[in-house]
Amino acid sequence: MDSLRRRGSGAPSAADGPATGILIPNRIPDQHQTMNFSSSPSPSSSPGISPVLGTVILTLAFVLGFPGNLFVLWTVLCRVARRSVTCLLVLNLAAADTLVLLTTPFFMRYVAGGQGWEFGMAFCKLVHYFCSVNMYTSIFLITAMSLDRFLAVSRPFLSQQLRTKRALLKTLLVIWSLAFLFAIPMPVYRSVFPNGGLFYCIPFHSDPKHMIFQYLMETIAGFLIPFTIILFCSLYICWKLRSTAFENKSKSRQIILSIVVAFFVFWMPYHIVNLIQVSGALAGEESLKKALLDVVDTTKPNVTAFVFFSSSINPILYVFAGSSNIQSDGLNFMAVMLEKTNSEMPGSRGFSQPRRDSPENKTLSLST
């Protein structure tokens, strides 16, 4: 167990990402080090510019992502009259990203303020819990988008029967419930500890098995299984419609593909580092253990930057996807783009604003 202690007890350094911390101090004080089995980089492995870099990253993520996601929410709620399944899933994705971006001011204060964690134990757990919920919600929503398109292509009649208001609400309820459930280990394995007169919100694993469980669950449930489903759906759709000109021009296809690629690019490095950290905990040879954990110490601050930007990039992707409509439609360009997903297949029908004469269980539009 002592072999898993990190070196030294100097000033806290940058480590861990939104699922475990965000370029923030991450060192357990001397009196607690025997109980810490999570990664805590040594001072020598964290360059002096990390607080500055962390502040810049968080500021850019907030400035670009927060108003961008609010714009998406406003567009879908106020400007889109006929909402497809893709449109409503995009709405929930923007809501999840907005939720996590609301935590950035607290992390910016933590990184740049030099006063440690000033917001107490409960808030330490809460903001990191929101970050973990965002990770699971995002990937589950993206998986739902892929499955929706898969059914529309492989089982179009079944897809029309399933695509109802009630079915969609049940699906969203399951997605959010699973995300809140799978994120529970985050507040459980995070705590506030004193060091040098200050307090730090850091990972805390009383046993190496706890750290292995947390990071393996994040990687398997939050990445490997969903992306296996997404990859299968995408390959099947490409094979099935490889010669269809309509599919190549599909707006929803462009939106979903860009979201999938962005999530993969930003999150895969984080999960690779997770697996390296788990391998370090399981390694029997001390030199191998030390080498693997040193890799984690060096790379964790970098991959966290990619992770946090994942909550900010989607509105930018929507702008590129709808760029052809900006000049003609102005601020309505996104509404026009999203409404086009209602008419990408013959016979598709949109999910309109509720009306007195409309059935309660109106069929949603195809989103392929």
Q: In tens digits, what is the pLDDT along the chain, a chain of 368 residues?
A: 333 333 333 333 334 444 444 344 444 433 333 233 333 333 333 333 467 777 888 888 899 999 999 999 998 888 887 778 888 899 999 999 999 999 888 888 887 878 889 999 999 999 999 999 999 999 999 999 889 888 888 888 888 888 888 899 999 999 999 999 999 999 999 999 998 889 999 888 888 899 999 999 999 999 999 999 998 998 888 787 765 544 445 666 777 788 888 888 888 888 999 899 899 888 878 888 888 888 887 777 667 666 878 889 888 888 877 777 777 777 777 777 777 665 544 344 455 554 434 444 444 444 44
Say how far apart CA 194 and CA 200 lie, in whole Å. 6
Say how far apart CA 66 and CA 44 lie, in whole Å. 34
Say how far apart CA 200 and CA 354 lie, in whole Å. 49
Phi, psi of 83 (to 5 degrees): -100, 125
Given a contact cutoff of 8 angstroms between Cβ atoms, the answer to whether 49 and 14 are in contact is: no
CATH code at 2-38+60-350:
1.20.1070.10
Helix or strand run (H / E) with residue 223:
none
Given a contact cutoff of 8 angstroms between Cβ atoms, the answer to whether 305 and 23 are in contact is: yes
**Could you give the C-alpha distances from 331 to 86, 148, 201, 314, in angstroms and in order?**
20, 28, 41, 17
Is pTM beyond 0.85? Reply is no
Given a contact cutoff of 8 angstroms between Cβ atoms, the answer to whether 367 and 146 are in contact is: no
Say how far apart CA 130 and CA 308 lie, in whole Å. 12
Annotated domain spans of the chain: 2-38+60-350
